[in-house]
Amino acid sequence: MRTTVINIKGMTCMGCVKSIKNVLKILPGVGDADVSLENAQARVQHDDAIISIALLEQSIRDAGFEVV
Ligand code: 9UX
């Protein structure tokens, strides 16, 4: 497991936070995901042999947010 921090643009409420959190948590290889509205950031624990950073980022984009 490694921890990856991803900066996200476009979260405006706790609903946004929750939906990104849910999107990340259901991905295979993700242990835990914490999303912070005030830091505009996701902190994801993942096994990078199973899920790459690029895939995490793409999942956030697919959910309608911008990765910066
Ligand atoms: Mo945060 Mo609400 O979106 O549509 S502004 S969930």
Cβ atoms of 30 and 59 closer than 8 Å: no
Per-domain residue ranges of the chain:
2-67
Per-residue pLDDT tens digits for 30-53: 999 999 999 999 999 999 999 999
Closest CA to 43 of 52, 34, 51: 34
Q: For residue 34, report the distance from its CA to the centre of ligand 1, in Å.
A: 17
Pocket of ligand 1 (CB under 6 A): 12-13, 15-16
Q: Which of 8, 11, 13, 37 to mutate to test the pocket of ligand 1 (most atoms within 8 A of CB)?
A: 13
Instruction: Give the per-residue pLDDT at 50.
Output: 98
Cβ atoms of 50 and 14 closer than 8 Å: no
Largest Cα separation within the chain, whole Å, is 32
For all residues of the chain together, what is the average pLDDT? Answer: 98
User: What one-character-per-residue DSSP string does 27-64 give?
Assistant: STTEEEEEEETTTTEEEEEE-TTTS-HHHHHHHHHHTT
The model's pTM: 0.94
Enter the CATH code of domain 2-67.
3.30.70.100
